[in-house]
Protein backbone atom coordinates (compact mmCIF):
# COMPACT_ATOMS: atom_id res chain seq x y z
CA UNK A 1 0.00 0.00 0.00
CA UNK A 2 1.70 3.31 -1.10
CA UNK A 3 1.92 6.10 1.35
CA UNK A 4 0.30 9.22 0.07
CA UNK A 5 1.93 12.62 0.77
CA UNK A 6 -0.04 15.70 1.54
CA UNK A 7 0.41 18.41 -1.09
CA UNK A 8 1.13 20.93 1.71
CA UNK A 9 4.01 18.80 3.03
CA UNK A 10 5.64 18.55 -0.38
CA UNK A 11 8.91 20.51 -0.15
CA UNK A 12 9.86 20.14 -3.80
CA UNK A 13 7.51 22.95 -4.67
CA UNK A 14 9.39 25.46 -2.38
CA UNK A 15 12.91 24.38 -3.27
CA UNK A 16 13.51 27.33 -5.61
CA UNK A 17 12.25 29.88 -3.05
CA UNK A 18 14.53 28.54 -0.32
CA UNK A 19 17.52 28.64 -2.67
CA UNK A 20 16.81 32.27 -3.60
CA UNK A 21 16.49 33.26 0.07
CA UNK A 22 19.79 31.56 0.81
CA UNK A 23 21.59 33.37 -1.98
CA UNK A 24 20.22 36.74 -0.84
CA UNK A 25 21.28 36.03 2.73
CA UNK A 26 24.80 35.07 1.66
CA UNK A 27 25.08 38.18 -0.50
CA UNK A 28 23.92 40.42 2.36
CA UNK A 29 26.44 38.84 4.75
CA UNK A 30 29.26 39.36 2.23
CA UNK A 31 28.37 43.05 1.75
CA UNK A 32 28.23 43.65 5.48
CA UNK A 33 31.61 41.96 5.93
CA UNK A 34 33.26 44.17 3.28
CA UNK A 35 31.74 47.42 4.55
CA UNK A 36 32.47 46.81 8.21
CA UNK A 37 35.35 48.95 9.60
CA UNK A 38 37.00 48.86 12.95
CA UNK A 39 38.13 51.93 15.00
CA UNK A 40 40.94 51.98 17.51
CA UNK A 41 40.31 53.36 20.91
CA UNK A 42 42.25 56.66 21.10
CA UNK A 43 40.48 58.18 24.09
CA UNK A 44 43.56 57.97 26.18
CA UNK A 45 45.74 59.44 23.43
CA UNK A 46 43.35 62.35 22.87
CA UNK A 47 43.34 63.17 26.53
CA UNK A 48 47.10 63.15 26.61
CA UNK A 49 47.29 65.41 23.55
CA UNK A 50 44.94 67.92 25.10
CA UNK A 51 46.99 68.00 28.27
CA UNK A 52 50.17 68.69 26.30
CA UNK A 53 48.49 71.55 24.40
CA UNK A 54 47.29 73.14 27.63
CA UNK A 55 50.77 72.95 29.10
CA UNK A 56 52.23 74.78 26.10
CA UNK A 57 49.56 77.49 26.13
CA UNK A 58 50.16 78.40 29.77
CA UNK A 59 52.33 81.57 29.78
CA UNK A 60 54.23 82.19 32.96
CA UNK A 61 53.54 85.56 34.54
CA UNK A 62 56.34 88.03 34.03
CA UNK A 63 58.12 89.00 37.18
CA UNK A 64 57.80 92.68 38.14
CA UNK A 65 61.25 94.33 38.01
CA UNK A 66 62.40 95.69 41.34
CA UNK A 67 62.13 99.49 41.75
CA UNK A 68 65.34 101.49 41.15
CA UNK A 69 67.35 102.30 44.22
CA UNK A 70 66.76 105.78 45.67
CA UNK A 71 69.32 108.47 44.81
CA UNK A 72 72.09 108.96 47.29
CA UNK A 73 71.47 111.76 49.77
CA UNK A 74 73.07 115.12 49.02
CA UNK A 75 76.23 115.78 50.97
CA UNK A 76 75.62 117.92 53.97
CA UNK A 77 77.06 121.41 53.86
CA UNK A 78 80.01 121.88 56.10
CA UNK A 79 79.59 124.90 58.35
CA UNK A 80 82.89 126.50 59.20
CA UNK A 81 83.01 127.71 62.76
CA UNK A 82 84.74 131.08 63.02
CA UNK A 83 86.59 131.98 66.11
CA UNK A 84 84.97 135.00 67.76
CA UNK A 85 88.35 136.17 68.99
CA UNK A 86 89.52 137.18 65.51
CA UNK A 87 89.67 140.95 65.29
CA UNK A 88 88.00 142.58 62.30
CA UNK A 89 89.68 145.80 61.15
CA UNK A 90 87.47 148.83 61.39
CA UNK A 91 86.30 150.47 58.20
CA UNK A 92 86.46 154.16 57.72
CA UNK A 93 83.19 155.93 57.16
CA UNK A 94 82.85 157.78 53.91
CA UNK A 95 81.30 161.19 54.06
CA UNK A 96 78.83 161.41 51.23
CA UNK A 97 77.67 164.93 52.05
CA UNK A 98 78.99 167.59 49.74
CA UNK A 99 80.59 170.71 51.14
CA UNK A 100 81.24 174.10 49.68
CA UNK A 101 84.74 173.05 48.77
CA UNK A 102 83.66 169.85 47.00
CA UNK A 103 84.21 169.99 43.27
CA UNK A 104 82.74 167.77 40.57
CA UNK A 105 84.41 167.00 37.31
CA UNK A 106 82.17 167.65 34.35
CA UNK A 107 81.75 164.66 32.00
CA UNK A 108 83.67 164.94 28.76
CA UNK A 109 81.67 166.56 26.04
CA UNK A 110 80.39 164.17 23.42
CA UNK A 111 81.92 164.71 20.08
CA UNK A 112 79.57 165.74 17.37
CA UNK A 113 78.53 162.96 15.07
CA UNK A 114 80.05 162.91 11.64
CA UNK A 115 77.89 164.14 8.84
CA UNK A 116 75.74 161.49 7.22
CA UNK A 117 76.77 160.92 3.59
CA UNK A 118 73.84 158.65 2.80
CA UNK A 119 72.26 159.27 -0.60
CA UNK A 120 68.47 159.46 -0.24
CA UNK A 121 65.87 158.74 -2.89
CA UNK A 122 62.87 160.10 -0.97
CA UNK A 123 63.18 163.00 1.48
CA UNK A 124 60.85 165.35 3.27
CA UNK A 125 61.81 168.29 1.02
CA UNK A 126 62.74 167.23 -2.53
CA UNK A 127 65.50 169.12 -4.38
CA UNK A 128 64.21 171.69 -6.88
CA UNK A 129 65.46 173.48 -9.97
CA UNK A 130 65.67 177.27 -9.49
CA UNK A 131 62.22 178.57 -10.36
CA UNK A 132 60.47 175.16 -10.17
CA UNK A 133 59.52 172.54 -12.76
CA UNK A 134 58.29 175.10 -15.28
CA UNK A 135 61.68 176.81 -15.33
CA UNK A 136 63.37 173.37 -15.60
CA UNK A 137 61.50 172.39 -18.79
CA UNK A 138 62.06 175.84 -20.24
CA UNK A 139 65.81 175.41 -19.64
CA UNK A 140 65.81 171.97 -21.31
CA UNK A 141 63.87 173.23 -24.34
CA UNK A 142 66.17 176.24 -24.78
CA UNK A 143 69.48 174.38 -24.43
CA UNK A 144 68.63 171.04 -26.01
CA UNK A 145 69.86 170.41 -29.57
CA UNK A 146 68.33 167.56 -31.53
CA UNK A 147 71.17 165.33 -32.79
CA UNK A 148 71.46 165.21 -36.60
CA UNK A 149 71.86 161.40 -36.51
CA UNK A 150 68.57 161.02 -34.62
CA UNK A 151 66.80 163.35 -37.07
CA UNK A 152 68.03 161.38 -40.08
CA UNK A 153 66.99 158.06 -38.49
CA UNK A 154 63.69 159.54 -37.27
CA UNK A 155 64.51 158.57 -33.66
CA UNK A 156 62.11 159.90 -31.04
CA UNK A 157 61.41 159.00 -27.41
CA UNK A 158 62.34 159.69 -23.82
CA UNK A 159 65.81 159.45 -22.29
CA UNK A 160 65.74 158.76 -18.53
CA UNK A 161 68.66 160.44 -16.77
CA UNK A 162 69.65 159.99 -13.11
CA UNK A 163 71.96 162.30 -11.15
CA UNK A 164 72.82 163.34 -7.62
CA UNK A 165 71.92 166.70 -6.10
CA UNK A 166 74.58 167.38 -3.47
CA UNK A 167 74.05 169.14 -0.15
CA UNK A 168 75.04 172.45 -1.76
CA UNK A 169 72.78 171.88 -4.82
CA UNK A 170 75.60 170.84 -7.17
CA UNK A 171 74.75 168.30 -9.92
CA UNK A 172 76.98 165.20 -9.82
CA UNK A 173 77.29 161.68 -11.23
CA UNK A 174 75.01 162.10 -14.26
CA UNK A 175 74.06 158.76 -15.90
CA UNK A 176 71.53 157.39 -18.40
CA UNK A 177 69.09 154.85 -16.98
CA UNK A 178 67.38 154.12 -20.32
CA UNK A 179 68.27 155.70 -23.63
CA UNK A 180 67.07 155.72 -27.23
CA UNK A 181 70.39 156.07 -29.08
CA UNK A 182 71.16 158.23 -32.11
CA UNK A 183 73.15 160.69 -29.99
CA UNK A 184 70.12 161.61 -27.84
CA UNK A 185 71.62 159.97 -24.71
CA UNK A 186 74.82 162.03 -24.93
CA UNK A 187 72.86 165.24 -25.57
CA UNK A 188 70.68 164.66 -22.50
CA UNK A 189 73.76 164.14 -20.30
CA UNK A 190 75.36 167.31 -21.66
CA UNK A 191 72.33 169.49 -20.94
CA UNK A 192 71.83 168.08 -17.41
CA UNK A 193 75.47 168.74 -16.54
CA UNK A 194 75.10 172.33 -17.71
CA UNK A 195 72.19 173.06 -15.32
CA UNK A 196 72.75 175.62 -12.54
CA UNK A 197 72.75 174.65 -8.86
CA UNK A 198 69.51 173.33 -7.48
CA UNK A 199 67.91 173.94 -4.12
CA UNK A 200 69.19 170.92 -2.15
CA UNK A 201 66.83 168.39 -0.61
CA UNK A 202 66.32 168.36 3.16
CA UNK A 203 65.65 165.65 5.72
CA UNK A 204 64.66 166.80 9.22
CA UNK A 205 65.55 170.31 8.26
CA UNK A 206 69.12 169.48 7.18
CA UNK A 207 70.39 169.39 3.57
CA UNK A 208 71.21 165.89 2.37
CA UNK A 209 72.37 164.16 -0.80
CA UNK A 210 69.47 163.08 -3.02
CA UNK A 211 69.34 160.80 -6.08
CA UNK A 212 67.06 162.39 -8.71
CA UNK A 213 65.62 160.89 -11.92
CA UNK A 214 64.68 163.17 -14.82
CA UNK A 215 62.91 162.22 -18.10
CA UNK A 216 64.15 164.14 -21.17
CA UNK A 217 61.85 163.93 -24.22
CA UNK A 218 63.03 164.13 -27.85
CA UNK A 219 60.24 164.85 -30.35
CA UNK A 220 60.55 165.71 -34.05
CA UNK A 221 58.30 168.41 -35.46
Largest CA distance in the chain: 199
SS (H, E, C) the chain: CCCCCCCCCCCHHHHHHHHHHHHHHHHHHHHHHHHCCCCCCCHHHHHHHHHHHHHHHCCCCCCCCCCCCCCCCCCCCCCCCCCCCCCCCCCCCCCCCCCCCCCCCCCCCCCCCCCCCCEECCCCECCECCCCHHHHHHHHHHHCCCCHHHHHCCCCEEEEEEEEECCCCCEEEEEEEECCCCCHHHHHHHHHHCCCCCECEEECCEEEEEEEEEEEEECCC
Topology adopted by domain 119-218: TolA/TonB C-terminal domain (3.30.2420)
Span 118-140, pLDDT tens digits: 899 999 999 999 999 999 999 99
Q: How do the domains of the chain map onto residue ranges?
A: 119-218
Q: Report the predicted TM-score, pTM, of the whole model to 2 decimal places.
A: 0.48
Give residue 23's pLDDT band: very low, low, confident or very high (50, 70, 90). confident
User: What is the reported pLDDT for 54?
Assistant: 47
pLDDT-based confidence at 81, cuts 50/70/90?
low
Average confidence score pLDDT of the chain: 76
> In terms of C-beta distances under 8 Å and separation of at least 24 residues, what long-range contacts does 119-123 make, across chains too?
119/164, 119/209, 119/210, 119/211, 120/201, 120/203, 120/208, 120/209, 120/210, 120/211, 121/210, 121/211, 123/201, 123/202, 123/203, 123/208, 123/210
Amino acid sequence: MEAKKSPEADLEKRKGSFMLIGLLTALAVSLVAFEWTTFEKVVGELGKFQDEQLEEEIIPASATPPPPPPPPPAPAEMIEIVDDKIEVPETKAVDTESTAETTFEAPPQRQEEEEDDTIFTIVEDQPQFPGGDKALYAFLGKNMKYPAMAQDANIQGTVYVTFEVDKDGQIKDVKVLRGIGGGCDEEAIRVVKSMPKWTPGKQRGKPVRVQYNLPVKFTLR
